[in-house]
Amino acid sequence: MKINRCCKVWFAAVVALMLVLPGFAACAKEAPPPTLTEPGEKVREILYWHNTDLSGPAAGTCTPASAGLIDILRYVNDIQGGIPVKGGKIKIKNVEHDGGYNVDKEIAGYRRAVDMGAWFILTHNTAFATAVYPEIAKNKIIMVASPNPAFIFGENKEWFIGAWPTQRDMIDLPLKWWYDNEFKDKGKRAPIIGSIATDNEFGWMGVYGLKYICEREGYKLGPLTYCSPAPVDVKSQILTLKGANVDVVAGTQIDYGWIAIARSAHELGFDKQLLGYFCCLPYPTIKAMGPGGVGTLSIDPSVDWASSAPGVQLIKDVNLKLYGAGVEAKHVMYKVTFTYMFAMLEAIRKAGEDIYIDDITVEDIKDALSTKITGYDPGGAGAPVSLSSGERRLWAGAWVVRVNDKGAYDYVSDLMYNNPFSAAEKNLKMYESRP
């Protein structure tokens, strides 16, 4: 191909423009929000790093989570003027880092977070969390992530907070509800539970949990199948499960996985109960799952949007203040991210009750998260939170929900509390072999 000089000039110009654009965008600063502090009151800013996925396979889940975090921090910083502590107010600066569910990119971001002195890192990728977990105490950074036993029982556990229910709890609660309400009376036998999990750290945690649940409840464990984090088709896995005549399929999947499972199941006429991880609940995911996804059971650890609980009212009020117009129902990831932050903000507030604003350190907040959050009520938006050095999960329970044919989901149970971890589950050696 003959390329003339004009093309080359265009090429150079386009590349230069593309390279310069992000820099220009960064230079343009938003107008500072109104200052809501009293004269003489100090304002201190701390950094909350969000390692999210805005462009990869988990974007459907992570984008609303980002929106939830941004909104509650705008509420704290712009509407409340910061978190009141001794001698002033603490504001939380938020960075949205798009890791694209790519561990290398996420680790690069983590290093930047450490450089920038971030106090918190919120992440949704178990593989990334596993990679940097050993460093968090050394780097003095509180990790907020999907919990797995290595984090909640591991060496650095006091630097860890479980922002989402564990993979095990996400199978345990809907499975218990399904067995009690839809299988026990008509089944007259132990149900056969199959699984489709992503073939990575995230998915394996669900499989370990499922094995434990089956052992505890006396259920029969069916085939354990795996797929990639972003599959387009899981028909072979569905056929395996169909061949084993399973009664229910537990899925530990992110959005793409759920879409593939629901569509493949529908195409093969596989109508057994699907249940598991709440990445099937974002509205775009429900829509993409289509008719095969209708009836899927999962959990929402936050209360129904229609509830009059003060926690949900606060979300509605904040949305009204920030965006003015009518507030649409927010789905699980937005609500969960918004409401889990209540306890985090409370820990910061309590850490600053006795310590002067300039002297507060990340270690004080870490300690407050272990000792000062007991029976904390997140405005009825979720189960009361009690954290200690041995309990790092922000969600003590959840509501079982079912995907409906209107592109949303319905609450089908009352608040159900998580089962405690058994001694076997706390044995970290168990996780060093294939589930």
Partner 1 sequence: MLPNGVLADTYEEDKALIRTKAQWGILIGAIVFFYVIPPSVLSGSWISVMNRWGITIIAALGLQLLTGYAGQISIGHSAFIAVGAYTSAILTTRLGFPIWASLPLSALSAGMIGIIFGLPSLRVKGFYLIMSTLAAQFIIMYIVTHIGLTGVQSGISAPRPSLGNINFDTDRSFYLITITMLIICTYMAVNISRSKPGRAFVAIRDNDLAAEVMGISLLRYKLLAFFIGCFFAGIAGALTAHWIGHVSPERFSLLQSLWFLGYIIVGGMGNIAGVFFGATLIIGLTEWLSLGLQNISMSYPHAALWVAPFVNILFAVIIILFLIFEPKGLAHRWHITKANYRLWPFAY
Chain positions contacting partner 1, by CB under 8 A: 1, 3, 7-8, 11, 14-15, 18-19, 21-23, 25-26, 28-30, 54-55, 59, 63, 66-67, 70, 73-74, 93-98, 100, 102-105, 107-109, 111-112, 114-115, 127-128, 130-131, 134-135, 148, 150, 199-201, 204-205, 208, 428, 431-435
Q: Which is nearer to partner 1, 19 or 325 (CB)?
A: 19
- To the nearest whole angstrom, how small is the minimum distance from the Cβ of residue 397 to partner 1? 25
Q: Which is nearer to partner 1, 124 or 242 (CB)?
A: 124
Q: Which is nearer to partner 1, 32 or 420 (CB)?
A: 32
- To the nearest whole angstrom, how small is the minimum distance from the Cβ of residue 344 to partner 1? 17
- To the nearest whole angstrom, how small is the minimum distance from the Cβ of residue 130 to partner 1? 6
Which residues contact residue 243 at a Cβ distance below 8 angstroms, ignoring those fewer than 6 apart? none
- To the nearest whole angstrom, how small is the minimum distance from the Cβ of residue 111 to partner 1? 4
- To the nearest whole angstrom, how small is the minimum distance from the Cβ of residue 205 to partner 1? 7
Q: Which is nearer to partner 1, 239 or 322 (CB)?
A: 322
Closest CA to 95 of 111, 113, 114: 113
Q: Which is nearer to partner 1, 103 or 400 (CB)?
A: 103
Q: Which is nearer to partner 1, 67 or 268 (CB)?
A: 67
Q: Which is nearer to partner 1, 96 or 304 (CB)?
A: 96
Q: Give the C-alpha separation, 52 to 59, whole Å.
A: 8
Report the SS3 class of residue 89.
strand
Closest CA to 34 of 92, 84, 93, 82: 82
Q: Give the C-alpha separation, 129 to 371, whole Å.
A: 24
- To the nearest whole angstrom, how small is the minimum distance from the Cβ of residue 247 to partner 1? 27
- To the nearest whole angstrom, how small is the minimum distance from the Cβ of residue 359 to partner 1? 25
* The token pair that represents 387 in the structure block: 């954290």
Instruction: Report whether 147 contacts 139 (CB < 8 A).
Output: no
- The amino acid sitting at 105 is K
Which residues contact residue 242 at a Cβ distance below 8 angstroms, ignoring those fewer than 6 apart? 268, 270
Angle at the Cα of 295 from the Cα atoms of 289 and 300, rounded to 5 degrees: 90
Closest CA to 401 of 79, 226, 177: 177
* The token pair that represents 90 in the structure block: 């603490």
